[in-house]
């Protein structure tokens, strides 16, 4: 366990936009403060076996530019090239708002979607899955968490925390969104989890750690995992809309092969470690940014989980009272 207890209060003071305002009478939070307040406690299953596991590092959460560049087609190779210290955990976020709700999207990035099964399973360069949280603006600083929708490959799953006023709509609620106390701020946070290898994301414990794994906690500074079974890993948040960041690079052909699709190839020059070697196949351009996420069986269109979340909420849930569909802040539409 890292020695954070004595400095927990100090860590949340004087850190700029990430500082949490104190007291029930405080004004509504900024987008960065809101994202930190509701950022998930995140369980990541880790598999250390197989030639493409890199001793577990293939399941570590990290930045898109973890290898020092913004080229999508060298991240499979970069995962092996960089040291474990380069895997400082970062989670991307965006906030879209209406007069009645905040919608906070979180993106968890892995350089590899991999497998150690030689038949019938594919892998691909880059992997990006995540969760949308719907927060009602109830007059308090951070609002009331009402629901979550997670991304597991090409399917979305919906959840509500205990006591939520939201119920099933066009889509049935898939389970309860559990909350746990984050020891770094003493507040209850939603709990999410990702499987090893393919990194589908659901509410905990629908996915859970099986043997080795990491537990990531939102914090104001990040530390790489000490090993593949580290149960106290602090991660930081990165604004998708930050200058020079993901959204500003949405038309960069080195990073994206098309709208919302990360560029990824099947370069075999790395020999036995190459994507697809020893497996059924390696897919290309197979991972999506939030504005490319899609559950093709559902009404909301591609990317609308992040770009038009009020529509998705209205389709997925039955919501009492007023749900505004007019955005007061939506930089995806800018």
Q: For the segment 307-322, what is each residue's pLDDT rounded down to a tens digit?
A: 999 999 999 999 999 9
The DSSP letter of residue 288 is B
Percent share of the chain, pLDDT over 70: 92
Write out the two tokens for 326: 């007019």
Which of 272, 186, 235, 189 shows the shortest CA–CA distance to 44? 235
The tens digit of pLDDT for each residue in 66-103 reads: 999 999 999 999 999 999 989 989 999 999 999 999 99
d(CA 300, CA 5): 43
Q: Which residues contact 117 (CB under 8 A, 6 or more apart)?
A: 279
Q: What angle do CA 70, 75, 108 make, to 5 degrees?
A: 80
Long-range CB pairs of 177-183 (<8 Å, 24+ gap) are 177/145, 177/147, 177/148, 177/203, 178/203, 178/204, 178/205, 180/41, 182/41, 182/217, 182/218, 183/4, 183/5, 183/8, 183/217
Per-residue confidence (pLDDT) for residue 115, from 0 to 100: 94
Per-residue confidence (pLDDT) for residue 254, from 0 to 100: 98
Instruction: Report whether pLDDT(4) > 50.
Output: no
Q: Are 135 and 102 in contact (CB under 8 A)?
A: yes
The tens digit of pLDDT for each residue in 163-192 reads: 999 999 999 999 999 999 999 999 999 999
Q: Which residues contact 149 (CB under 8 A, 6 or more apart)?
A: 131, 132, 134, 156, 157, 158, 159, 305, 312, 316
Sign of CA dihedral 176, 177, 183, 187: negative
Mean pLDDT of 319-330: 97
The tens digit of pLDDT for each residue in 245-286 reads: 999 999 999 999 999 999 999 988 888 899 999 999 999 999
Between 53 and 7, residue with greater pLDDT: 53
Q: Are 62 and 87 in contact (CB under 8 A)?
A: yes
Q: Are 112 and 267 in contact (CB under 8 A)?
A: no
Write out the two tokens for 70: 């913004």
Instruction: Report whether pLDDT(45) > 50.
Output: yes
d(CA 297, CA 148): 18
Per-residue confidence (pLDDT) for residue 268, from 0 to 100: 86
Per-residue confidence (pLDDT) for residue 17, from 0 to 100: 34
d(CA 305, CA 325): 14
- Using CA atoms of 67, 70, 73, 79 in order, give the dihedral in degrees to the nearest 10: 20
Per-residue confidence (pLDDT) for residue 118, from 0 to 100: 76
d(CA 267, CA 275): 7
Residue with tokens 């992997």: 127
């Amino acid at each position: 366990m890292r020695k954070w207890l004595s400095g927990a209060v100090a860590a949340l003071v004087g850190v700029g936009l990430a500082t949490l305002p104190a007291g029930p009478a405080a004004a509504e939070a900024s987008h960065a403060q809101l994202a930190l307040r509701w950022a998930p406690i995140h369980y990541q299953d880790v598999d250390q076996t197989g030639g493409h596991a890199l001793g577990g590092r293939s399941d570590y959460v990290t930045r898109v530019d973890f290898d020092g560049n913004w080229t999508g087609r060298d991240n499979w190779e970069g995962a092996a090239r960089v040291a474990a210290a380069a895997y400082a955990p970062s989670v991307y976020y965006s906030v879209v708002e209406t007069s009645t709700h905040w919608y906070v999207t979180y993106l968890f990035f892995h350089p590899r979607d991999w497998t150690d099964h030689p038949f019938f399973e594919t892998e691909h360069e880059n992997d990006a899955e995540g969760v949308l949280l719907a927060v009602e603006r109830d007059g308090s600083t951070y609002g009331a968490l009402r629901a979550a929708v997670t991304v597991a490959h090409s399917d979305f799953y919906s959840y509500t925390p205990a006591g939520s006023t939201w119920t099933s709509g066009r889509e049935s609620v898939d389970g309860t969104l559990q909350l746990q106390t984050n020891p770094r701020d003493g507040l209850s946070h939603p709990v999410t989890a990702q499987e090893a290898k393919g990194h589908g994301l659901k509410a905990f414990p629908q996915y859970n750690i099986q043997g080795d794994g990491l537990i990531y906690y939102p914090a104001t500074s990040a530390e790489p995992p000490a090993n593949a079974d580290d149960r106290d890993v602090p991660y930081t948040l990165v604004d998708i809309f930050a200058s020079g960041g993901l959204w500003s690079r949405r038309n960069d052909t080195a990073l994206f092969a098309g709208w919302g699709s990360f560029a990824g190839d099947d370069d075999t020059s790395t020999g036995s470690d190459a994507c697809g070697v020893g497996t059924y196949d390696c897919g290309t351009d197979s991972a999506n940014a939030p504005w490319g996420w899609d559950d093709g069986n559902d009404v909301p269109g591609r990317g609308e989980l992040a770009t038009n979340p009020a529509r998705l909420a209205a389709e997925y849930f039955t919501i009492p009272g007023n749900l505004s569909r007019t955005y007061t802040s939506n930089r995806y539409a800018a």
